Structure 1
Amino acid sequence: MAGPELEDGYTRVANEIYEEVAMRKFNGIQLRMLLIVWRYTYGFKRKSAELSATFLATALRSDLSGIKKELKKLFEMNVLKVFRQAQGKHGRMIGFNKYSEQWLVGCNPPPQLPESDESTGGELHPLPVDNSPPLEGGNRPPKKERKKIIKKGEIDMPNIHEEIISYLNKKTGKRYSSKVKTNKELINGRISEGRTIDDFKYVIDTKCSHWLNDPKMCQYLRPATLFRPSNFDNYLNQQPTEQEDNNPGQMTKDEKLDYEDAIREWVMQGNDPADFRFERD
């Protein structure tokens, strides 16, 4: 089985940061949280992102209450910091504080080394030597044996895809699959922009309040419409309502037929159904 490849994506972190973090008294869950923060900030060439406690708990497959506790400690230690407070429907932007002199967490004490052992020529516990022959072309298997498992830019966190699609299905009574490639790509795209699971749920709730009871618009409660790049940000800034003006419930039979033809043509042209306005004669 092929191993991870840099061409599938990588996260650049300065060596000095690794060294400083390794010397400090972080516990295991704090170290894992820092890895996820680096992954979704430095991994996308940015300093901060909307990383809620729920997102971190999902990424680490850990208990939410414990994550909230450790996240608070990392803020108090000034290792993580808030780059932007929550604004409206947007969560706060958090990131890593690379200036280690500002951290309020101590260093581990230096180890107490035993006296040298004369039987090893004064060398302490020498490491075993690996005499196995190297693989052709260095330490990588031949190219024909390598298999690209995760495409560049894809987020290998199926639990996030499943949670979002399951929530959509629960709200709409539909049966979309979290394993469908296009659905995963739409979700990955929005997450790479810093969107959170709560953002997805807000969009779903908002558009359900607009369209769920509209027999003509409810068909657009689907990932291809809700999570499209040109739609998602607009929906995220809308307010839930009971009903929009597009409801054709009071139209005559002929007007309903005209409405159906008009909105079908509007959508086929690549337009957002939420922007459609039907003008009656």
Structure 2
Amino acid sequence: MKKSILGFDQEKALKMGLELKDLIILRAVKDLIESNALIKREIDGQEFYWIKTRVILEAYPMLDIKTSASVRRRLKKLVDRGLLTYKLVKENGTFTFYNKTNLLDKLFVYNERLDLACKKVTDSKENKGNNKEAGDCDSNIRTNNNNKKHNNKKNKYKKDFAREVINYLNLALKTKYRENSKESLNKIGALVEEGFTLEDFKTVINKKKKDWSGTPYEKYLRPSTLFRKSNFEEYLNQVETKKKTVYKSVYKEADLSDWDD
């Protein structure tokens, strides 16, 4: 059985009684929350995000789900499984707010560090400096094969990891950068080798989006700049300027008359 599907651990998902439709909706909610494109609200000391069921219906017509009520039933199932938290807000209408949980992050396999995803294979050094004995050649062949398998697995992981980063970038910035761009794969792969995690990439994307959007620097919201090795750590540790958000004004300005809850 393949380890992951849509980035989630397939074996764990099956044990939780989740169907493919559940995972598609869960991935959509996860990506929306992490895109920083949603209305956010603090409720009982915790952050929640307004999820519109219509967005999910329009984004995934192949789900063959016809109504918002059906989407809400699937979301309730994900809440019951402990993957999402939920709050209902009644202010000039009824609105559903969600957030992801630690259990969801554990279900998402690409949150693991590269050194946890790949087993290290090292050359045997037992006979270093000694004369080769019978069987040494066979041992070397096995070691080389193991190294080759390890490198193939490592490269595949880095490619999958890079695709996750590019998908997140495209979702956050509404861009269409190619997942298989050699330049992007190389830049992201080099940063992965340095030990940076998926959350680090998302943090950089979110910080620079907030910092550069609507400015002359907006044109630099691209992989070649954001993932440049000489810049990345500086972007990651950049101190954000906190901005107060007045949610009442957000509701007044938004036309909610034809939005699903």
TM, length-normalised to structure 2: 0.34
> Taking CA–CA contacts closer than 8 Å with sequence separation of 6 or more, which of the two structures ends up with the larger relative contact order?
2
Structure having the larger proportion of residues in strand: 2
Of Structure 1 and Structure 2, the greater helix share is in: 2
Q: TM-score, normalised by structure 1?
A: 0.32
